[in-house]
C-alpha cells in the first residue's frame, strides 16, 4: 500500500512511524510512505503557506493553492484524498478497515487556525480523530497510518492477530495475563490455566462483553 502525507512538518509523522511494527512494514515494502510539503509549491521568497483570514479573526489560514498543487503532485488514478480535520467523519476501526483496502491514500494535514475551505472541498472525505483540538493534523496522520498498517496482509507473521483486538468486532478485548500465575497475591483467572480452548474462548467472550458494558456502553448501542 502507498500512503502520501501532505504536511508542513513531515518529521512529525515520519519519525513515530519509523520503529516497531510500522517501521518493519516500511522496511519490507508492505507500506510505502511518502511526504510532500506544500511550501515546495509556493512562489514567494518566504515560501508562505498561510495568510490572514477574510472577515478577520485570530490565527492564520493555510492557502488553498499550495495544498492543491502538493496533492496533485502525488495523486494518480485511483488515489483517495483524505483531509484530517475536526469536522470530519469520526475515525474508527471500521473506517480503518475500509481505508486499508485502498491502493493509494493521500492524507492532508492542516495547521495553524485552519485551511481554506475551497481546498477541503476538493478532497474525497474528511476524517476526525476525535472531539478535541490538535496543533496540526500530523499526530492524527500518524495514528491513522499506524492503525491502517496493522490491517495490511503480511504485517504480522501470524495472520488474524488484528482480528481479535479491541473494536475489531465492535467490543473491547478481554483482559490479558502472563507469568507469574500469582503476582502480589493476585491470581490469573483459573479459566485461562486449564488448557480447554473452548472454555477459554467462552470466558474471553464473556469478559469482552462485560468490559464493553462497564467501560464503553455506547459501543453496545451501535451493535445490531
Name the residue range of residue 202's domain. Answer: 166-222
Shared domain check, 137 and 177: no
Shared domain check, 145 and 171: no
Question: Tell me: the pLDDT tens digits for 131-142?
Answer: 999 999 999 999
Total domains present in the chain: 2
Question: Tell me: the pLDDT tens digits for 86-127?
Answer: 999 999 999 999 999 999 999 999 999 999 999 999 999 999
Q: Is position 192 within any domain?
A: yes
Shared domain check, 106 and 61: yes
Distance CA 207, CA 210 (A): 5
- CATH number for the domain spanning 170: value is 1.10.1270.20
Distance CA 58, CA 73 (A): 31
Shared domain check, 175 and 82: no
Shared domain check, 97 and 194: no
Q: What is the pTM of this model?
A: 0.89
Q: Is position 76 within any domain?
A: yes
Residue that has been written with the C-alpha cell 504485517 in this structure: 155
3-class SS at 44? coil
- CATH number for the domain spanning 97: value is 3.40.1280.10
Number of Cβ atoms within 10 Å of the Cβ of 199: 13
Distance CA 98, CA 86 (A): 20
Q: Is position 43 within any domain?
A: yes
Nearest Cα to Cα of residue 32 among 149, 165, 123, 117: 149
Number of alpha helices (DSSP H) and beta strands (DSSP E) in the chain: 8, 10
- Cβ–Cβ < 8 Å for 22, 44: no
User: SS in 3 state form for 148-170?
Assistant: HHCCCCCCCCCCCHHHHCCCCCC
Shared domain check, 81 and 125: yes
65: cell is: 493553492
Question: Tell me: the pLDDT tens digits for 146-184?
Answer: 999 999 999 998 766 666 566 767 899 999 999 999 999
Amino acid at each position: 500500500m502507498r500512503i502520501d502525507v501532505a504536511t508542513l512538518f513531515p518529521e512529525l509523522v515520519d519519525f513515530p512511524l519509523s520503529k516497531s511494527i510500522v517501521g518493519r512494514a516500511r522496511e519490507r515494502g508492505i507500506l510505502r510512505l511518502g511526504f510532500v510539503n506544500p511550501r515546495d509549491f509556493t512562489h514567494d521568497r518566504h515560501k508562505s503557506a498561510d495568510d490572514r483570514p477574510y472577515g478577520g479573526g485570530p490565527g492564520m489560514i493555510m492557502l488553498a493553492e499550495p495544498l492543491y498543487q502538493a496533492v496533485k503532485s502525488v495523486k494518480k488514478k485511483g488515489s483517495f484524498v483524505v483531509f484530517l480535520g475536526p469536522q470530519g467523519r469520526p475515525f474508527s476501526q471500521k473506517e480503518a478497515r475500509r481505508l486499508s483496502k485502498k491502493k493509494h491514500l493521500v492524507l492532508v494535514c492542516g495547521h495553524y487556525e485552519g485551511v481554506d475551505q475551497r481546498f477541503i472541498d476538493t478532497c474525497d472525505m474528511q476524517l476526525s480523530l476525535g472531539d478535541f483540538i490538535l496543533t496540526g493534523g500530523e499526530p492524527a496522520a500518524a495514528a491513522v497510518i499506524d492503525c491502517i498498517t496493522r490491517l495490511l496482509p503480511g504485517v504480522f507473521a501470524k495472520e488474524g492477530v488484528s482480528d481479535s483486538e479491541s473494536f475489531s468486532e465492535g467490543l473491547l478485548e478481554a483482559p490479558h495475563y502472563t507469568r507469574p500465575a500469582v503476582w502480589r497475591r493476585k491470581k490469573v483467572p483459573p479459566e485461562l490455566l486449564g488448557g480447554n480452548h473452548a472454555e477459554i474462548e467462552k470466558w474471553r467472550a464473556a469478559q469482552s462483553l462485560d468490559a464493553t458494558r462497564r467501560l464503553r456502553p455506547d459501543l453496545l448501542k451501535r451493535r445490531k
